[in-house]
Structure 1
Amino acid sequence: MTRHALVTGVSGFTGRHLARRLVADGWSVTGTARSRTSGVDGVDERHVDIDDWLGLRSLVGEVRPDVVYHLAAVVDTVTTPDLGLLYRTNTVGTAAVLDAVLRSGTAPRVLVASSAFAYGVVAEGADNIGEDTALAPITPYGASKAAAEAIARQWWRQTGVDLVVARGFQHTGPGHVGAYALADWARQLARGATTLDVGNLDVVRDYLDVRDVAAAYLELADTGGPGEVYNVGSGVGRTMRQMLEGLVEAFDRDVEIRSDVGRFRPSDQPVFVADVAKLRRDTRWAPKHPIEQTLADLARSARVTAGRGE
């Protein structure tokens, strides 16, 4: 019997990779998209806003999914030009998705994709951040995700809707675009840049390949504990300098790196690395893509995008 998955935000970075895995594994996949298409063959895309309560109720009732992957979000980790859109999508949208699941009369598992930005300020010395670390977000995006988590877990306690929360750390890989450090550097290098102006390269971050993130979501939807929160990261800390050097090596060119103090963020955590012991304990997940492959594939996809003039 064919299994049905609903992926909100299917046209997003992680959503596209997750949809490809689901289709390859034989799932029937329906996805919500706001404006752009996912470009994934085999996905039935619906243009439903994630804060459209009636539209979501109709969609979930029609699809009757076995699993809902709630990935739709406004991802804005630093500046927020539209707070209303951010909270309507990330926070109220989560409530709308859960309401639609409850009213559909089905009992699917729901995976709610949160973010490590919900942690915010972490005590000095907490190099590997566990799921029991207090949430103290310092950006509107982090706050929106912390609020979405609270709504999701309250919903689970009150209604019994079967859900799991995946708290994702930073990730990159093929197809990564936008105003993110690695994606932006890759775009500039693909367009022939010989100098890069950068911020603080001494901070330590936890980067995971987006394909391994998608694999973790699949595993958590299968065996994650009901109502539980799981970090999704590599568990390995690397300085941003190491990440940039790896990316430059993937492009195989000499590049001048110029430090710009104007790009430093006073709120930056010196070290921000996930403790993924719980994820490994409760699932069969293990990352498959070494960071060198991740950066090489990011460089390759950036070249393709630049070649199309995008």
Structure 2
Amino acid sequence: MARQATIVGASGFVGRRLRTRLEADGWQVFAPPRGAPELLARDLGVVFYCAGLTADYDRRPFEAVEAHASLVGRVIEAGRFEKIVYLSSTRLYDGLPKAEVSETEPLVFDPTDPRRLYDLSKALGENLVMTRTDGRGAVARLANVYDWAPGAPGFLSEWLIRAQAERSIALDSSPHVARDYIHLDDVVAALIAIASAAEPAICNVASGELVSNAEIAQVFEACSWRVRFSGEAAPAAPPRANIARLRALGLDPRPVKDRVRAYLEGLKG
């Protein structure tokens, strides 16, 4: 019998790819539209909670709180699920003055900083999932997810999409900015593995490596693209996410430079 999954946020960047993969693997997928009353009134199977605001959370703070905490709280209160996997973010580590962080680190937030609304609302969602689901909850803390499909969001995604039409690319960023990047397909594989794990846990879904814009630009240039940056800012690097738990699930994401190189070589034909 096919496993039942519900994807909250199935029209989003991660949710769309996850739905495609689950259906290809034989899952029966329920993808309720926003506000659908059935979400709280039917058996949901394994819930992948992908709803959220990223780029515009500061402009829509109350919608961010609704998506990150209030709605997932109502799903948990209704209780009609086998397991729930909540998508969070490694951004929650940004307040920690450490080079490397694991999922067991206590988080630090300044509640007077309006830009921490994203972190605080995600942390509340995590708390509900890990403490109010009777052991049926898990959290995936995602790093910077990228892809090159049309419309894929994020700095690196947009850079890669532009490479399809441009051989000389000017970027409004600095070569010194470093991030942890993980490809969308690796994220989807990780979410399915987390859903199948026996023990509830918080899991970093990341590559475990910080890579600078300059390093990625070197890959582009080695493949005959030209890349220019407009800035020289050198912000402090975020903590590096330890991915021992992810590897224990049998997953080891492919390094971003290797994926970018293979993608660019494919564009060259």
Q: What's the TM-score bracket when you normalise by the shorter of the two chains?
A: 0.7 to 0.9
Instruction: Indicate which of 177, 181, 192 corresponds to 2:166.
Output: 192
Is the 1:182–1:244 Cα contact (8 Å) retained in structure 2? Answer: no
Give the C-alpha shift of residue 112 in structure 1. Answer: 0.8
Q: Give the TM-score taking structure 2 as reference length.
A: 0.84
Q: CA deviation at 1:298?
A: 6.7
Deviation at 1:110, TM superposition (A): 0.9
Distance 1:172 1:298, change over 3 A: farther
Task: Provide the C-alpha distance between the structure 2 equivalents of 1:29 and 1:190, rounded to a whole number of angstroms.
Answer: 33
Instruction: Give the conservation status (yes or no) of the 8 Å contact 1:203–1:271.
Output: no
Number of aligned pairs? 263
Query: How far apart are residue 177 of structure 1 and its match?
Result: 3.6
| 2:86/2:129 contact within 8 Å kept | yes
1:20 to 1:247, Cα distance in 2 relative to 1, 3 A: farther
CA distance in 2, matches of 1:284, 1:99: 32
What corresponds to 2:62 in structure 1?
A: 84
Are 2:55 and 1:57 equivalent residues in the alignment? Answer: no
Matched residue of 1:139: which SS? helix
TM-score, normalising length from structure 1? 0.74
Query: Which residue of structure 1 lines up, in the alignment, with residue 75 of structure 2?
Result: 97
Residues 1:120 and 2:94 are matched in the alignment: yes
Cα RMSD of the aligned pairs, angstroms, is 2.9
- Structure 1, gaps ≥5 residues long: 32-45, 303-310
Q: How big is the shift at 1:301?
A: 11
Which of 211, 224, 241 aligns to 1:238? It is: 211
Whether contact under 8 Å (1:231, 1:274) holds in the other structure is: yes
Mapping of residues 1-310 of structure 1, within 5 Å: 1-31=1-31, 46-49=32-35, 54-58=37-41, 61=42, 64-76=43-55, 80-100=58-78, 102=79, 104=80, 107-123=81-97, 126-137=98-109, 139-156=116-133, 160=134, 162-175=136-149, 177=151, 180-192=154-166, 194-223=168-197, 225-226=199-200, 228-247=201-220, 252-255=224-227, 257-260=228-231, 264=233, 268-281=235-248, 283-287=249-253, 289-292=254-257, 294-295=259-260
| Structure 1 residues 275 and 91: CA distance shift in structure 2, 3 A | same
| CA deviation profile, 1:152-187 (whole Å, cap 9, x unmatched) | 22313xxx1511111111121232746621123234
Counterpart Cα distance in 1 of 2:116 and 2:161: 26
The residue aligned with 1:308 is none
Larger mean CA deviation between 201-210 and 175-184 belongs to 175-184
Within 2, Cα distance between the matches of 1:24 and 1:230? 25
Following superposition, the deviation at residue 211 of structure 1 comes to: 0.5
How far off is 1:275 after superposition? Answer: 0.1
**CA distance in structure 2 between the aligned counterparts of 1:29 and 1:297, rounded to whole angstroms:** 32
Question: In structure 2, do the counterparts of structure 1 residues 280 and 239 end up closer, same or farther at CA, with 3 Å as the change threshold?
Answer: same
Provide the rounded CA distance (Å) in 1 between the counterparts of 2:149 and 2:247.
26
Is the Cα–Cα contact under 8 Å of residues 169 and 233 in structure 1 kept in the other structure? yes
| Segment drifting more, 161-170 vs 129-138 | 129-138
Residues 73 and 176 of structure 1, relative CA distance in 2, 3 Å threshold: farther
Q: What is the CA distance between 1:74 and its match in structure 2?
A: 1.2
Structure 1 Cα separation of the partners of residues 266 and 130 of structure 2: 37
CA distance in 2, matches of 1:18, 1:217: 8
Structure 2 gaps, min length 5:
110-114
From the superposition, tell whether residues 280 and 245 of structure 1 become closer, same or farther in structure 2 (CA, over 3 Å).
same
Residues of 1 paired with 2:15 and 2:225: CA distance? 32
* Contact 1:6–1:68 under 8 Å retained in 2: yes
Question: Does structure 2 retain, via aligned residues, the 8 Å contact 1:13–1:175?
Answer: no
Distance change >3 Å, CA 97–CA 241, structure 1 → 2: farther
Task: Indicate the SS of the match to 1:231.
Answer: strand
C-alpha distance in structure 1 between counterparts of 2:116 and 2:76, whole Å: 24
SS in 2 for 1:19: helix
Alignment partners' CA distance in 1, 2:18 and 2:48: 9
1 CA distance for matches of 2:219 and 2:198? 33
Taking a change above 3 Å as real, the CA distance of residues 86 and 285 of structure 1, as seen in their structure-2 partners, is same
